Structure 1
Amino acid sequence: MSSNNTLALVIAILGLIAAIFVGNSVNKTWLEQSYVYDTYQTDSGNHAYIYKGKEVLIATIVPYQQSPLRQENLNRLTEDPLLEQQWVKDSAHKITLLRPAFHFGFWSLLPAFITIALCLLTREPLTSLFSGIVVGSLMLGQYDLTDAVIIPNLAKEGTAALLLLYLWLLGGLLGIWSKTGAAQAFANYMTQHYVRGPRSAKVISWLLGILFFQGGTMSTVLVGTTVRPLADKANVSHEEMSYIVDSTASPIATIIAFNAWPAYVQALIFVPGVSFLATETDRLNFFFSSIPFSFYAIFAVLGTLLLSLNITTFSGKRIRAAHQRALSSGQLDAEGARPLSAKELQRCDVPSGYKPHVLEFILPLVTLIAIAVFTFIFLGSPKINWAFGTALLLSAGIALAKGMSLTNLIDGFGNGLKGVVLASVILMLAVIIGSISKEIGGGLYLVSQLGEQLPFWILPFILQLITMVIAFSTGTSWGTYAIAFPLAMPLAWAVCQSQGLENPEIYMMVCFATVLNGSVFGDQCSPISDTTILSAMTTGCDLMDHVKSQLVPATFAATFAACLWTLTVYLFA
């Protein structure tokens, strides 16, 4: 057994012992969490709000001072609170939803620490994620892993949708493209007409990352599956490609924010008494006004452009080595790498007599993008499953119309499922560990350590640092927003008031941008993030090679951003 594996085993055993100790001996610290919805009165006089396009009635509203979920009452708890949530009305008649949340102090970081440490030591994400899940479950006193932890999380609507999309639809589509030779035909076409070498292949990949500005998993999958064949043909290393795909997914969504992000975030940033955050319209305007302060996202996108142009000054040693390796030997993966994309998707297995055509790749891809874009415009959110399902059916229909037998088609579909099954399992475990980390309250603990007496100029950097840690530990930027924004924005306003800043709106915009961008950094670099896993999967890269290689350029971008945020508030707030 290697020294790294021995150390990993020791860490895992100590983690299990610590988890049992925490679950049985450490008291929970309960915190009041308030959520603001745009409520209104119906014709019948009831209060209601809109959730996912449907009207939800509020049954009972109590005065805030009478709620058992306000902080003064939570501080006196010796057992779990009896209520999971309660609608309250304050003295200014503002209606909010209170929910109790807890943390175990610094012990709340234990599952994430175990998972990430084992990932780095063993380069084996499957067992690392499972170890983190076991540790988190023991801390929560849930010893029945299958029935109490794994199955309930897999049964959630969002998790089931991920499994459907990335196992059946994405895997099946990639398998059919491999069977028909469509991906290779697209690569040949692009090479003949547009791609002249590694640099042009990377520039095209960067431009597609900008074009698909919806962000998150959608952008990652669309760009990764589109550019993989042409980048492989141009001998671009998988580390470079996975970095370009990952670093133009969420970062560009915060800059070109005509997507679902502003609508989600605005609901989290209400601060009582702040006029420019009073209404939904005010908060949306605030979001778009703060975009020029999204320094990390801007530097991340510019960094991938520099790499695409073969300017590797800020790319780090690993990416430079990968670049030279691919140029000199044509070897796209590092020695000993274990790509997430299986061998079934790395070769063409076109039946004898079947002639691939580039339109077999382009037509389903254009259909996929069109459905995603138009459903976003007309329905308010992109219907990704519709888009991938239609593309899959169209690819299958074209293949059958051109004479491919149903047996060969199903064989290609099956190979596609086999090709992504490991990545799908890793993705499911990542979702579960993120859910457990959020429930245990690691993010709440980190943010609760801040105080109003901090020098105003250092708060943006601290908010950036804490949200980076939260998102890195949980693997989700949106989950980090839900934790951090309701705590960070009132804190930033309190600092404005207590220290008499002349330009509070600029200060609030910078603090807002640090939370927004710090969360994107942590999500992008986390080995348990869905976008990180999918970037590696769709580009055929080893997951830990991707994580380690992109950490350096992303850290450069985050460092430059931290300096600019600090200077901005020091000089202009």
Structure 2
Amino acid sequence: MMSWGASQFKSPALWVFLTAFVAAIIVGVRTPPTWTVEQTPLTVETDDLGSQFVVLGGEQVDVDTAIPLADSPLTVDKLSALHREGGMPKSVEQFVYEQPQAGGDQGKQYFQQFAYRHWGFWSFLPALTAIVLCWMTKEPISALLAGIVVGAMLIGEFNVLGGVLIPSIGTKTAATILVLYLWLLGGLMGVWAKTGASEAFADYMAAHFVRGPRSAKLVAWMLGVIFFQGGSISAVLVGTTVRPLADEENVSHEELSLIVDATSSPIAILLAFNAWPIYVQAFMGVIGVSYLATETDRVAFFFRAIPLSFYAIFSVLFTLLIALDKHPLLPKKLKAARQRARETGQLNAPTAEPLAGDDPGYKFVPAGYAPNILDFVLPLITLLTVAVGTYYLYGSPEVLWAFGTALVLAAIMAWLKGMNLRQIITAILDGQKGVILGSVILLLAITIGQLSQDVGGGRYLVSLLGALQWHWLLPGTAFLIAVVIAFSTGTSWATFAVTLPLVLPLAHAVAINQNLAHPELFMSICFAACLNGGVFGDQCSPISDTTILSSMCTGADLMDHVTTQIPVAMQAAFLALVGWTAIAYFGV
């Protein structure tokens, strides 16, 4: 007979989940959401055949498909009535036009309508549940699943599998995660382990450049700067490249994962020759602001604001000081991790549960196979060449092509040097096994991020900005709002989509109403604060893809990485807040 231990029901984590679960059901049933509807003006263009179109989501859409604004189902009254009847709009986006009173096609104005909802403070419940349980249990899968269940209850979707998980996992984003990180990244790591390529690189670097833990960490920092594409790309490339080298020099995985994470997105907004400006500029338009009128103007504004990215600057600088063992205010836990690794050789804490297994190294290399640094360098150069080359050719890096080409090249090189097909396939499968846990966590993180956006916590937070009375408080407040949104959703790019379209018009209005002497500088400060807030929150969030990948690729425990990184990031954030507030107070 099965017996149930009473101690299971005394678990604080269980009661946190049950409380959030019940609260979500009650709020979802009894509290109607607050709906807001926004309109984005669209520019009508004419093709070579004389047909008129607008650009929606990067695609040309014929103007004849627009519906009259009066017929749109996306109005606050209609949406509220639909919710009272237990329904939901078929789409939260609509292409509409408004006909002036005088009539005539020439006077039509076209808009893209968006409908958003939120439940006020309760909108943070799904993400808050996941984050709190991550801290309490140090078990991210159950914590993320708990947050997803709570979010589903809040929106009234009781079929969690069919209504939430399956639609999220069935998206292009989720498929890309599986192909890139599970198949291609895992396979490449497996081939490198089977050929001894990563250890051959480590041996070469150790013989020519590395003289101890400091120089090993410095190599990691420099690679983070070189791989300036940012985000998950940088985390994967730097983590997989430097881990064998750092392990040889007894660099703790807490330190290594911090260096990898803190030189990913922060570098991407400082050396912004990547996809970031093109993506971000789409949310920067403000009616009546000439220097934000066109895409070229907005990209130029992005680059002019780079010197104001104080958080990113201090984050990269502090990471360099940590690599050089010169940081004057090293947090206690990070200092203990450094001492443990150097004195005992234990790269992780005794209680750690790394997201990826140990690097196999030479022990799986077949007899008679001679590892060579070219087994590592040539696929890596190919990966970077394809990623950077496709960015300059097409405007964004084709990461799948890059990793796929690198994997094929690594496999062909192994075959030409004598490894048989069965050994290569086994190596790929072994490498994929090592990243299964991280891939599952990434898929769940995507799901809860989408849920967090759907329940509208970000827009509720940004709406509170309107109560500010002093202009010099706006940059710091915008930064903190962006931090909360990014930390809760685990994504900086979605945070930009929420904050920038609301904060920049507000900053412009404040600059005009308070007659500031330098309105463009004030706009730049607020823009940089939003941008850096998204990066800070994403970097520190335990449900962020870059946080998870930095842990996975360096062999660190996820929560050990989070808890050692946050104090350093907060030091950089504090100095950034002081800088933005001082310039806003004295300089505009």
1:48 is aligned, of 51, 54, 60, to 54
Distance 1:348 1:56 in 2: 57
Cα separation, partners in 2 of 1:51 and 1:14, compared to 1, 3 Å: closer
Task: Report the counterpart of residue 104 of structure 2 in structure 1.
Answer: none
Task: Report the counterpart of residue 377 of structure 1 in structure 2.
Answer: 392
Task: Report the counterpart of residue 30 of structure 1 in structure 2.
Answer: 35
Cα shift at 1:76: 7.7
Q: Within 5 Å, which residues of 2 pair with 1:133-148?
A: 133-148=148-163
Task: Report the counterpart of residue 196 of structure 1 in structure 2.
Answer: 211
Distance 2:292 2:363 in 1: 55
Counterpart residue identity of residue 14, structure 1: T
1:479 is aligned, of 479, 484, 494, to 494
Does residue 103 of structure 2 align to residue 119 of structure 1? no
Q: Within 5 Å, which residues of 2 pair with 1:6-85?
A: 6-35=11-40, 40-43=45-48, 44-49=50-55, 51-52=57-58, 54-61=59-66, 69=74, 79=84, 80-81=88-89, 84-85=92-93
Cα shift at 1:406: 1.9
- Which deviates more from structure 2 when the two are superposed, residues 221-230 or residues 77-86? 77-86
| Contact 2:92 2:114 (8 Å CA) reproduced | yes
Does residue 516 of structure 2 align to residue 508 of structure 1? no
Does residue 243 of structure 2 align to residue 228 of structure 1? yes
| Contact 2:468 2:474 (8 Å CA) reproduced | no
TM-score, normalisation: structure 2? 0.93
Task: Report the counterpart of residue 558 of structure 2 in structure 1.
Answer: 543
Distance 2:363 2:122 in 1: 49
Does residue 172 of structure 2 align to residue 157 of structure 1? yes
- What secondary structure does 1:48 align onto? strand
| Contact 1:252 1:301 (8 Å CA) reproduced | yes
1:362 is aligned, of 377, 382, 387, to 377
Does residue 347 of structure 2 align to residue 342 of structure 1? no
Does residue 94 of structure 2 align to residue 86 of structure 1? yes
Cα separation, partners in 2 of 1:364 and 1:5, compared to 1, 3 Å: farther
- What secondary structure does 2:466 align onto? coil
- Which deviates more from structure 2 when the two are superposed, residues 57-66 or residues 426-435? 57-66
- Which deviates more from structure 2 when the two are superposed, residues 320-329 or residues 188-197? 320-329
TM-score, normalisation: structure 1? 0.95
| Contact 1:64 1:70 (8 Å CA) reproduced | no
Counterpart residue identity of residue 432, structure 2: L
| Contact 1:19 1:138 (8 Å CA) reproduced | yes
Does residue 186 of structure 2 align to residue 181 of structure 1? no
Cα shift at 1:275: 1.5
Distance 1:541 1:144 in 2: 35
- Which deviates more from structure 2 when the two are superposed, residues 275-284 or residues 222-231? 275-284
1:394 is aligned, of 409, 432, 435, to 409
Cα separation, partners in 2 of 1:417 and 1:345, compared to 1, 3 Å: farther
Cα shift at 1:181: 0.8
1:466 is aligned, of 464, 481, 485, to 481
Task: Report the counterpart of residue 511 of structure 2 in structure 1.
Answer: 496
Distance 1:181 1:344 in 2: 10
Cα shift at 1:82: 6.4
Distance 1:531 1:175 in 2: 21
Task: Report the counterpart of residue 517 of structure 1 in structure 2.
Answer: 532
Does residue 312 of structure 2 align to residue 297 of structure 1? yes
| Contact 2:478 2:529 (8 Å CA) reproduced | yes
Counterpart residue identity of residue 85, structure 1: E
Distance 2:329 2:483 in 1: 20
Does residue 289 of structure 2 align to residue 283 of structure 1? no
Provide the identity percentage.
50
Cα separation, partners in 2 of 1:344 and 1:211, compared to 1, 3 Å: closer
Distance 1:151 1:71 in 2: 29
Cα separation, partners in 2 of 1:174 and 1:81, compared to 1, 3 Å: closer
Counterpart residue identity of residue 506, structure 2: L
Q: What does the per-residue CA deviation read over 1:1-55, in whole Å, with 9 as the maximum and x for residues that have no partner?
A: 9899811111011011011112211111001234466652324231222745x53
Distance 2:561 2:389 in 1: 32
| Contact 1:345 1:415 (8 Å CA) reproduced | no
Cα separation, partners in 2 of 1:170 and 1:281, compared to 1, 3 Å: same
- Which deviates more from structure 2 when the two are superposed, residues 228-237 or residues 558-567? 228-237
Distance 1:288 1:451 in 2: 27
Cα shift at 1:284: 1.2
- What secondary structure does 1:340 align onto? coil
Counterpart residue identity of residue 95, structure 2: W
| Contact 1:345 1:416 (8 Å CA) reproduced | no
Cα separation, partners in 2 of 1:113 and 1:21, compared to 1, 3 Å: same
Distance 1:61 1:144 in 2: 34
Cα shift at 1:66: 7.2
Cα shift at 1:71: 6.0
Cα shift at 1:404: 1.3
Distance 2:323 2:153 in 1: 45
| Contact 2:476 2:581 (8 Å CA) reproduced | yes
Cα separation, partners in 2 of 1:453 and 1:250, compared to 1, 3 Å: closer
Q: What does the per-residue CA deviation read over 1:278-330, in whole Å, with 9 as the maximum and x for residues that have no partner?
A: 11121111111111110001111111111111113233111111111112112
Task: Report the counterpart of residue 325 of structure 1 in structure 2.
Answer: 340
Q: CA RMSD in A?
A: 2.2
Counterpart residue identity of residue 94, structure 2: Q
- For structure 2, the residue ranges without an aligned partner over 5 or more in a row are 1-5, 101-106
Cα shift at 1:158: 1.4
| Contact 1:42 1:48 (8 Å CA) reproduced | no
Cα separation, partners in 2 of 1:23 and 1:78, compared to 1, 3 Å: closer
Cα shift at 1:202: 0.8
Distance 2:264 2:214 in 1: 20
Counterpart residue identity of residue 403, structure 2: F
Distance 2:82 2:196 in 1: 63
How many equivalent pairs are there?
A: 572
Cα separation, partners in 2 of 1:9 and 1:72, compared to 1, 3 Å: closer
Task: Report the counterpart of residue 414 of structure 1 in structure 2.
Answer: 429
